[in-house]
Chain A
Amino acid sequence: MTINFFDNDLTSLHEKLVNKDISTVDLTQATLENIAKTDSELQAFIRTNSDEALLQAKKIDEQHDFSNMLSGLPLALKDNLATNGIETTGASHILEGFKPVYDATVVSKLSTAGAISVGKTNMDEFAMGGSTETSYYKKTANAWDHTKVPGGSSGGSAAAVAGGQIPFALGSDTGGSIRQPAAFNGIVGLKPTYGRVSRWGLFAMASSLDQIGPFTRTVKDNALVLNTIAGFDEKDSTSSKRDVPDFTSKLTGDVKGLKIAVPKEYFGEGIDPKVATTVKAAIAQLELMGATVDEVSLPHTKYGVAAYYIIMSSEASSNLQRYDGVRYGFRADDVKNLEDLYIKTRSEGFGDEVKRRIMLGTFSLSAGAYDAFFKKAAKIRTLLIEDFNKVFADYDVIVGPTAPTVAYGLGEEIDDPTAMYLADVLTIPVNLAGLPGMSVNAGFVDGLPVGLQIIGKPFDEVTVYQTGYAFEQASRLFEQRPNIAKKY
């Protein structure tokens, strides 16, 4: 049997399982076939785990317990989420063949809910990059144009969902790694508030910025996935004890009286005018639906990239020191002594972008640089947060573009790290401030999707979803399908 995920959202798949129109095994099998059919062109998956997936699907069918919305539904995981006994590499050579001996909290939550993980998706090595091109294993294509990048770092998860291989996937977002690939692939990607989702089992890049979040084709699907993965986890000291609301509770299509702020800095230099026009049209649509829209200022936006790259690289340089060839993963051959083991393992095991960030971070924390770089960046972070606080005193959400451009060509920017870093300017401030941020499709420029970014107050994902849902239902852009949809 076959299944086309473009014709089925999570609710529809759930109903089919409940009504026994399809079995979980059939659905899992069909998903694996979808991937087999299209992954030679998309290259979204680093590996699938069909045996484990089918085994679990069989169990779900036997129990026939679909009390959780996600029970029996297939998903894909970014390759930086730990799965017990299943290879997880962070798309790095240094973890090639590495099988964690524990599950990430999101993985166990989804598994308890009955969802079935069918494989691990491609990503930038240790989530460092914006195009998924720094993966040690493969290059993933954009679902709409296979000559373009899928964005990154969660490019595999985004392309897999946008390309119809899977109904939902998880990614991680440290500086835009969920929202930007969601924008490039025309789907919905949410970075929850820092602390909303447990980071236990997420291979850390920058601990104070990382969050796990869902990729889906629709806003409602996204809220349904967050319902399952959110919540306090005693294993994560930074996970929030706040109550988890029903994230679908305000999916009414109504935005009357919603106060929307549009930062002028998000339409400044470096933003592709066509992207700006598309996003402005989307904002006009929301205004037409009864929201009030005002221009505001987030004056420290332009310093976000520098502050972010200092903080992120500093934390990452420390977090990635554990990859030393001693206890797990890759260990270099022919080493004379311990020092040699460290240097060879790390120099052979890491790719250039990872090395670059380790170098930046090590430098930013080093004696003599700490105050001018790391500490200065931490102070700028405070100013960025204050910018947001001021705006959120008067507004419900902030909207703007997700990325300055649409997806660019594979290989076009990978050799220019400075340009790559500057492209994160619109997503970075959200991570620095720990806010929830979502990208929904705002339209197309030259056949490529443009992302509308919706930023909420801390722990107010409900309003972010409300806004995104209203726009999505009005624009019905999710009904547009890339060519690859014809393969199913």
Chain B
Amino acid sequence: MSETTISKSEVAHVANLAKLAFDDAELVQFTTQLDNILNIFDTLGEVNTDGVAPTYSVTENVNHLREDVADNWHQKQALLKNAPLEAADLIKVPAILDGEGE
């Protein structure tokens, strides 16, 4: 694997995916730090993993399923109380711009 380097613009792109914003100074600092860490990540390229199955979890559980029984925990009021802004039992957020999201 060749050495991964990350540019300021790539960092800005990733920040956008993660909904984070950095000013110029922060962007420079983060780019350097991420670059250093990616160099550690690159050492994985030394290992031949052909034919190795990935492990995503070490749980032994299979088919941990819940029977289809409805149970309302009646948490609505407590949940809405924690919302920063709420109106008529709805969570209130600043306007969604057209074309965002799904």
Residue contact B96 to A327, C-beta cutoff 8 Å: no
Let me know if B9 is at the binding interface, CB within 8 A: no
On whether the beta carbons of A350 and B82 are closer than 8 Å, the reply is no
Known A-B contacts A238-B59, A363-B14, A382-B52; the reply to A303 vs B43 at CB < 8 A is: yes
Indicate if the CB atoms of B20 and A358 lie closer than 8 Å: yes
- Closest chain B CB from A348 CB (angstroms): 9
Instruction: Determine the chain B residues whose CB is within 8 A of the CB of A20 once the complex forms.
Output: none
Residues of B within 8 Å of A385, CB to CB, are 55, 58
| Contact of A40 with B by CB under 8 A | no
Closest Cβ of chain A to B61, distance in Å, is: 6
Chain B neighbourhood of A339, CB < 8 A: 19, 97, 100
Is A377 part of the binding interface, using a Cβ–Cβ cutoff of 8 Å? Answer: yes
Asked if B79 and A208 sit within 8 Å, CB to CB, the answer is no
Q: How far is the CB of B76 from chain A (nearest CB, A)?
A: 10
Q: In this assembly, does A380 line the interface, its C-beta being within 8 Å of a C-beta of chain B?
A: yes
In the complex, per-residue mask of A346-376: 1 if CB is within 8 Å of any chain B CB, else 0? 1100100001101110111010000011011
Question: Which residues of chain A come closer than 8 Å to B47, judged between CB atoms?
Answer: 300, 303, 380, 383
- A380-B96 in contact (CB<8A): no
- Taking the complex as formed, is B40 at the interface, i.e. its CB lies under 8 A from any CB of chain A? yes
Of all chain A residues, the one with the shortest Cβ separation from B57 is: A208
Contact A240 B17 (CB under 8 A): no
Instruction: Across the interface, name the chain A residue whose C-beta is closest to B96.
Output: A338
- A336 in the interface (beta carbon within 8 A): yes
Choose among A358, A362, A382 the residue that contacts B55 (Cβ–Cβ < 8 A). Answer: A382
A341 located at the interface, meaning its Cβ lies under 8 Å from any Cβ of chain B in the complex: yes
**In the bound complex, do residue A343 and residue B54 qualify as a contact, i.e. CB atoms below 8 Å apart?**
no
A306-B43, A310-B41 known; A342 vs B58 contact (CB < 8 Å): no
State whether B55 touches A381 (Cβ < 8 A). Answer: yes
B82 adjacent to A359 (CB under 8 Å): no
B20 and A337 contacting across the interface, CB-CB below 8 Å: no
User: Given A303-B43, A309-B37, A358-B20 in contact, is the A101-B78 Cβ separation under 8 Å?
Assistant: yes
What's the minimum C-beta distance from A168 to chain B, rounded to whole angstroms?
Answer: 27
Q: Is the CB of B94 within 8 A of A336?
A: yes
> Nearest chain-A residue to B46 (Cβ)?
A303
Contacts of A476 in B (CB 8 A): none
List the B residue with the shortest CB-CB distance to A355.
B20
Q: When the two chains form their complex, are residues A363 and B6 in contact, meaning their CB atoms are under 8 A apart?
A: yes
B77 to chain A, nearest CB (A): 9
CB-defined contacts of A238 to chain B, threshold 8 Å: 57, 59, 61, 64
**Residue tally, chain A, CB below 8 Å to B:** 72
Q: Given A339-B100, A380-B49, A383-B52, A434 and B94 touching (CB < 8 A)?
A: no
Q: Is A41 an interface residue when CB atoms closer than 8 A count as contact? A: no
Given A208-B57, A378-B55, A383-B52; A356-B100 close (CB under 8 Å): no
Q: Give B56 Cβ to nearest chain A Cβ, in Å.
A: 6
Q: Scan residues 408-442 of chain A and give those whose CB is less than 8 A from a CB of chain B.
A: 417-418, 421-422, 433-434
Q: Is A326 in the interface zone, CB < 8 Å from B?
A: yes
A32 within 8 A of B: no
Beta-carbon contact of B85 and A331 below 8 Å: yes
B82 — which chain A residues lie within 8 A by C-beta?
Answer: 98-99, 101, 327-329
B41, A418: Cβ atoms closer than 8 Å: no
- Residues on B with beta carbons closer than 8 Å to the beta carbon of A326: 83-84, 91, 93
Q: Tell whether, in the assembled complex, residue A379 and residue B54 are in contact, meaning their CB atoms are under 8 Å apart.
A: yes
Taken together as a complex, chains A and B put the C-alpha atoms of A362 and B30 apart, in Å, by 14
Q: Is the CB of B54 within 8 A of A382?
A: yes
Task: Find out whether the CB atom of A372 lies under 8 angstroms from the CB atom of B61.
Answer: no
Q: Does B18 contact A (CB under 8 A)?
A: yes
On whether A372 and B1 interact (CB within 8 A), knowing A343-B19, A421-B37, the answer reads yes
CA distance A155 to B75 in the complex (A): 33
Distance in angstroms from B40 CB to nearest chain A CB is 5
Whether B14 lies near A362 (C-beta < 8 A) is yes
B61 touches A309 (CB 8 A): no
A343 touches B41 (CB 8 A): no
- Chain A residues 311-326 with CB under 8 Å of chain B are 317, 321, 324-326
Residues of B close to A382: CB separation below 8 A: 52-55
A310 to B47, CA, bound (A): 15
Task: State whether A337 touches B95 (Cβ < 8 A).
Answer: yes
Given contacts A343-B19, A382-B54, A383-B52, contact A421 B40 (CB under 8 A): yes
Q: Does B28 contact A (CB under 8 A)?
A: no
Assess whether B83 is in contact with A194, with CB atoms less than 8 Å apart: no
Q: What separation, in Å, do the CA atoms of A378 and B47 have in the docked complex?
A: 12
Instruction: Check: A195 CB closer than 8 A to any chain B CB.
Output: yes
Q: Which residues of B contact A364 (CB under 8 A)?
A: 41
Asked if residues A359 and B34 are in contact (CB atoms below 8 Å), the reply is: yes
**Complex A-B, nearest 10 residue pairs according to Cβ-Cβ distance, in ascending order:** A378-B54, A434-B58, A331-B84, A379-B49, A238-B59, A101-B78, A342-B19, A328-B82, A237-B64, A381-B55
Q: Can you report 17 A-B residue pairs in the complex whose CB atoms are below 8 A from each other? A: A102-B75, A195-B58, A234-B66, A303-B43, A306-B43, A306-B44, A327-B83, A329-B82, A338-B93, A338-B94, A338-B95, A340-B94, A344-B21, A355-B20, A362-B18, A381-B55, A383-B47
Q: A347-B22, A418-B37, A434-B58 are in contact. List 15 more A-B contacts (CB 8 A).
A: A98-B82, A101-B82, A305-B40, A309-B37, A309-B40, A321-B19, A327-B79, A329-B82, A339-B19, A343-B21, A366-B14, A380-B44, A417-B37, A418-B36, A433-B58
Question: A-contacting residues of B (Cβ < 8 Å)?
Answer: 1, 4, 6, 10-11, 14-15, 17-22, 30, 33-34, 36-37, 40-47, 49, 52-61, 64, 66, 75, 78-79, 82-85, 91, 93-97, 100
